[in-house]
């Protein structure tokens, strides 16, 4: 998708601090972090939202979560949140499927951050 900022990051047309890149996924740092550690795991395939997924995307979704887990391990996060914002009312601003990886808070303290 030409106009999609995350597609541009995936194609390296736009810059981002990339942590992980695999055949199907990229994990990069969020430009406006909502937590001490905030990364985004995205599929290379442009899917606009969780609203658009189908059973054909089951493997892709599993891969996305596994990639986020790998990123959290790489970042040494002992606990973290994985968040999908879905649709405008759900707080989604970028229409390319992404999983927020949020962490880095004080150890053993529960928190209630919103993305």
One character per residue 33-72, x = contact with Zn ion (rule: CB under 5 A): -------------x--------------------------
DSSP helix/strand/coil, 99: strand
Who's near 77: CB < 8 A, 6+ residues apart?
A: 37, 101, 103, 104
Q: Are 115 and 99 in contact (CB under 8 A)?
A: no
| 19 interacts with ligand 5GP by CB under 6 A | no
Instruction: Report the nearest approach of Zn ion to the CB of residue 52 (Å).
Output: 12
| 62 interacts with ligand 5GP by CB under 6 A | no
Instruction: Give me the count of residues in the chain.
Output: 115
Residues that bind Zn ion (CB under 5 A): 1, 4, 6-7, 46, 96
Q: Which residues are catalytic?
A: 98
């Amino acid at each position: 998708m030409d106009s999609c900022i995350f597609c541009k990051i995936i194609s390296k047309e736009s810059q981002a601090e990339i942590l992980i890149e695999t055949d199907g996924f990229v994990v990069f740092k969020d430009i406006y972090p909502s937590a001490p550690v905030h990364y985004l795991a995205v599929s290379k395939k442009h899917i606009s939202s969780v609203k658009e997924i189908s059973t054909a995307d089951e493997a892709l979704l599993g891969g996305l979560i596994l990639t986020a887990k790998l990123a959290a391990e790489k970042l040494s996060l002992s606990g973290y949140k994985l968040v999908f914002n879905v649709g405008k009312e759900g707080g989604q601003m970028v229409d390319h499927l992404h999983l927020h990886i949020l962490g880095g808070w004080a150890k053993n303290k529960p928190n209630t951050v919103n993305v």
